[in-house]
Amino acid sequence: MLERNRQIVLKRRPSGLPVPEDFAIADAPLPEPQAGEVLLRGIYLSLDPYMRGRISGVRSYARPTGIGEVIEGRVVGQVVRSRDPAFRDGDYASGGYGWQLYSAVPAGGLLKLDPAEAPISTALGILGMPGMTAYVGLSDIGQPKAGETVVVSAASGAVGAVAGQLARRQGARVVGIAGGAEKCRYVEEELGFDASIDHRSPDLGAALDQACPKGIDVYFENVGGAVQAAVFPRLNDFARMVMCGMIAEYNDPTPLPGPNLGAVVRKRLKIQGFIVGDQRQRHGELRAMAAPLVRSGQLKYREDIGPGLERAPEAFIGLLQGRNFGKLLVKLGDDPSR
Ligand SMILES: NC(=O)c1ccc[n+]([C@@H]2O[C@H](COP(=O)([O-])OP(=O)(O)OC[C@H]3O[C@@H](n4cnc5c(N)ncnc54)[C@H](OP(=O)(O)O)[C@@H]3O)[C@@H](O)[C@H]2O)c1
């Protein structure tokens, strides 16, 4: 165990695409767990698109990260000193304690993980927040029916891969949009989507017409920008647009002018946004449904695990440019469960 802690803090607010100089490495004393807390050693850190919003300083549904503060993030780790009867030294757990190697955290805020149920890293991906996002967005808003056409953007990513697989299990025809031939091949051949489209193809509209001959009934929106502009006019009457995220626009200082929403009325569309954190209490539902499917290989996932806390800023910047391939994690320390 290290004598000291290491953290990544926000040095200044990024303008446009973040650069490594927006972040700083800080060393700190090892935190001391109080009664009811545990000292957790980080093994995997989750890097997620929402972090771009947190470091921008814009107040939204969550408080922004302050200058000099540790960047927010969820971690899977191992208990190295427990001062709570619910955890023993050596237990695995996940919780939100930021871009750092160690943290003393209240035991009540941690989810205990059983490596026999699924690899512990999945608590940050398919069985964690991104998986929940796909599950909630699809079951509450998208509600695909057998035979309908579902389009999912950022389809090879943490949320999109799960959303598409779940829609397919409900009998829908699923078309994934992803960046580049390798991701498209993965989406079709490994995840089993019916078709895939490279969002860099010169005529996205024509590619959508070909892949969705009966139009689009559900659009699971992860990207925004040019992809949204191409999908929107192809939505069928009574289509549902699951507004999950618009990562292509997160670095734009001024929002792009939106589509003309007249069609929302004409086609009786349903466009609804959601924040996965509002449905925290349903996490057990997802784990009960998805963990056996992950174990049996019927639900597939891919992780992109980068080395070392110090490289987290670089990896995060890559996420905003599509350089990750699968759920982006950073390895903070040894994983004795593997
Ligand atoms: N509403 C909620 O509660 C909630 C919760 C979690 C996540 N989200 C949202 O869900 C979306 C996906 O998140 P994730 O964690 O699954 O990330 P991810 O898909 O694993 O990674 C981000 C992906 O976005 C794509 N991308 C980045 N810039 C793009 C651009 N300019 N144009 C098109 N695609 C671009 C890239 O894939 P390609 O290479 O394929 O382009 C990149 O790999 C994000 O918008 C995120 O904010 C929302």
SS (H, E, C) 234-263: HEEEEEEEEECCCHHHCCCCCCCCCCCCHH
State the pLDDT confidence band at 210, using cuts at 50, 70 and 90.
Answer: very high
On the question of pLDDT at 291 being above 70, the answer is yes
Asked whether the beta carbons of 307 and 197 are under 8 A apart, the reply is no
Give the C-alpha separation, 161 to 156, whole Å: 5
Among 222, 252, 271, residue to substitute to test ligand 1 (most atoms within 8 Å of Cβ): 222
Give 332 Cα–ligand 1 centroid separation in angstroms. Answer: 23
Residue 2's pLDDT is 55
d(CA 99, CA 200): 32
Cα of 103 vs centre of ligand 1, distance in Å, is: 28
Nearest to 328 by CA among 336, 311, 337, 338: 311
What would the pLDDT profile of 20-35 be if each residue is shown by its tens digit?
A: 999 999 999 999 999 9
The residue whose C-alpha atom lies closest to atom 47 belonging to ligand 1 is 245
What average pLDDT does range 138-165 have in this prediction? 98
Q: Does 264 score more than 90 pLDDT?
A: no
What average pLDDT does the segment 286-306 reach?
97
Note the pLDDT of residue 1: 52
Residue to substitute in 124, 136, 241, 247 for testing ligand 1 pocket (most ligand atoms within 8 angstroms of CB): 247
Per-residue confidence (pLDDT) for residue 232, from 0 to 100? 96
Give 68-103 pLDDT, tens digit per residue: 999 999 999 999 999 999 999 999 999 989 999 999
* Nearest atom within ligand 1 for CA of residue 304: 20
**What is the residue type of 54?**
R
Q: What percent of the chain has pLDDT over 70?
A: 99
Average pLDDT estimate for 252-270? 81
Q: Which two tokens stand for residue 299?
A: 């639900």
Does residue 138 contact residue 242 with C-beta atoms inside 8 Å?
yes
Residue corresponding to tokens 């193809």? 201
Ligand 1: which atom is nearest the Cα of residue 324? 43
Residue 217: φ, ψ to 5°: -100, -30
Report phi then psi at 35, rounded to 5. Answer: -55, 135
Does the structure show a pLDDT above 90 at 211?
yes
pLDDT band at 57 (very low <50, low <70, confident <90, very high): confident
Collapsed DSSP state (helix, strand, coil) of residue 305: strand
- Three-class SS state of 5: strand
> What average pLDDT is seen over the chain?
95
Two tokens, residue 108: 């009540």
| pLDDT higher at 135 or 2 | 135
Nearest CA to ligand 1 atom 4: 244
Q: How far apart are CA 189 and CA 175, in angstroms?
A: 12
* 72-85 core/surface letters (b: 16 or more CB in 10 A; e: else): bbbbbbbbbbbebe
**What tens digit of pLDDT does each residue of 110-133 get?**
999 999 999 999 999 999 999 999
At 259 the pLDDT is 78
For 168-185, what is each residue's pLDDT tens digit?
999 999 999 999 999 999
Name every protein residue with a CB atom under 6 angstroms from any ligand 1 atom: 48-50, 130, 133, 154, 156-160, 178-179, 183, 199, 222-223, 225, 227, 244-248, 274-276, 319-320, 322, 324, 327-328
Q: In sequence order, what DSSP letters do the residues of 97-109 get, joined into one string?
A: --SBSEEEEEGGG
Q: What is the pLDDT of residue 335?
A: 97
Centre of ligand 1 from the C-alpha of residue 185, in Å? 18
| Nearest Cα residue to atom 19 of ligand 1 | 157
